Every structure is written in structure tokens, then in C-alpha cells.
Amino acid sequence: MEMFEGIVLTIITAATPLLFAAIGELVTERSGVLNLGVEGMMAVGAVCGFAAAHLTDQPVVAIAAAAAAGALMAALFGVVTLIFVGNQVASGLALTLFGLGLSALIGNAYVGIPGIGLPKLDIPVLTDIPLIGPILFGEDPLTYLAVLLAVGVWWFLFHTRAGLILRAVGDNHVSAHSLGYNVIKVRFLAVMFGGACAGLGGGYLSLVYTPQWTQNMTGGRGWIALALVVFATWLPSRIVIGAVLFGAVSILQLHAQAFGVGIPSQFLSMLPYLTTVVVLVIISRDRTLLRVNTPACLGQSFVPDR
């Protein structure tokens, strides 16, 4: 029983940063913008969150710093692609490289310093319930925030007028502009929201997952988050399922090594990325499934009155 509980808890821990980053990228792509800089935004969010925690010893400030750092990185991407109409793919890749370099520069002073971590929820009686108590009532605040964020995004996209406008901008930006909606403003806000979520995902890594800063600690999770959006066919509910699935694959390698399974550790380490490739190949073969929810203007630049 304790072993099962431990496995579930570690899967939740591995899934949370993916959920943050993927749900933010989903909103960004729903507005018609393809931001490939998730990995870089997560890295900057991780180091800024850790630095803020170290300097202030305040978890709330650390979380806010991680989100703000990711949003600022996304704003830079937004200025280049939405205001100056730069190529979104090239700008996103550049943002990733810039973010990884910037995070290494900022984090150089924090290597080897232990983090403060985040306190876990502890509700008397409820947290002590066998099995479900620690899983439902004993997580850190960011885990609950990630779940609430996924529910909030689902409600926003499909049950509010603002969400309808955002989806309209992503599906046909010319028509949305003709109806009087400010396409650039909507997309800029969506891009910044995506950046803030990516920053939170990075902050989770340095504040909860491994409470310390190490260079390249995102370990390709930004790319997996991008794949998760395609896996989920741009639906928030499927993002949650996908994050848990990829989190389970990530944790599987650790438990397999702990049990001494006779599989090379290098093969186990590449399992999450191998799974990502396999899933994308399978989904890409079903063009109908992709066409149903894919934003029609995804990756297309918009210039008013052109």
C-alpha cells in the first residue's frame, strides 16, 4: 500500500510541471500563435523562482517571480512576432536558446545552494486517511494551482465570451478583426499567459521537484509540453490525462532502476522522449482528429488591414 501511494505521489510530482507548461501553451496556440520557446521560459522561471526564494525566504514571492519571469520572456516573443511580425518558429527556437543561456548566467551564483522548498498541505484527519489522504490533501500549493488552472482554462475557453473571442482569433483572425476585435491584443495576452504558466512549471522544478538550481534542470520538459498540446488535440481535459501519462513514464524509469530491472539505464532515461515521438507519430496518422480542434490560423502572422 505504501509503495503504491509513493508511486502515485511521484507521478503527480512529475506531471505537475508538464501540466503547467502545456496548459499555458494550449491557450497560446488556441489564439493562433505557435511559441516553441516553452523550454527557455521554463528555465528562466526555474532560476528566477529559486533566486527569489533564496533572497526573500518567501514561497509566495518565489512563485510570483517564476510566473513573472516566464511572462516577461513571453512578452519579448510577443513583441518580436506580433508587433514586428517575426517568424514564430524561428523566434520560438531563439527564445529557447536565449532562455537556457540566460538561466545559466543568472543561476551561476546559486549552484549548490539548497532551496527552501514549499510546505505541503496538512489537514488534520483528512491528510491521515490511508492512501487517498496524502494524495488528495497532502500536496504542495502549486499542484492544486495546476489542477485549478486546467479547470479554469477549460471553463474560460468553452463557457465565456472572452474564450469564444480567443478561439475565433485563432481560427480566423481576419474575420475576428472585421468584427472589431483587437487580434494583436488578444494574442499578446494569450502569449503572456502561456509564458506565466511555463514560468510556474519551471518554478515547480526548482521549488518542489528538486529544491535546488542546476543548469538545464528542465531536461526537455518544455518540448514534451509542446507535444502534449498536440496529443491533447488542443483540449484542456486531455492535457491533464496526457500530463499524468507522461509523468508516469518519467517515473517508471526511476522505479525500474530501483527494482534492478535488467534494462540499460540509458534506455530508461530516454523513455519519456521516445514515448513523445511515438505518440506524435500515431496522432499524426489521424488527420481527422487533428483537423477537428487545430486552430486554423496557428502559426500565421497577422497584419491589420493587409
The pLDDT tens digits for 173-221 are 999 999 999 999 999 999 999 999 999 999 999 999 988 899 889 988 9
Least confident of 52-61, 203-212, 287-296: 287-296
What pLDDT, on a 0 to 100 scale, did the predictor assign at position 78? 96
The SS3 assignment for 269 reads: helix
What pLDDT, on a 0 to 100 scale, did the predictor assign at position 48? 96
Say how far apart CA 155 and CA 153 lie, in whole Å: 5
What pLDDT, on a 0 to 100 scale, did the predictor assign at position 247? 85
Using the predicted structure, report yes or no on whether residue 290 has a pLDDT greater than 90: no
Using the predicted structure, report yes or no on whether residue 123 has a pLDDT greater than 80: no
pLDDT digits (tens, 9 = 90+) for 72-100: 999 999 999 999 999 999 999 999 999 99
Q: Which of 274, 240, 278 lies closest to 11 in space, CA to CA?
A: 240
What confidence tier does 287 reach under pLDDT thresholds 50, 70, 90?
confident
Cell of residue 123, nine digits: 489537514
Share of the chain above pLDDT 70, in %: 96
CB contact set of 111 (below 8 Å; sequence gap of 6+): 213, 214, 215
What pLDDT, on a 0 to 100 scale, did the predictor assign at position 279? 77
pLDDT digits (tens, 9 = 90+) for 3-19: 777 788 888 999 999 99
**Mean model confidence pLDDT for the chain:** 89
Least confident of 128-132, 154-158, 207-211, 213-217: 128-132
Q: Which of 42, 187, 40, 52 lies closest to 115 in space, CA to CA?
A: 52
CB contact set of 191 (below 8 Å; sequence gap of 6+): 28, 31, 33, 35, 74, 75, 77, 78, 82
Tell me how far the alpha carbon of residue 36 is from its chain's centroid.
12
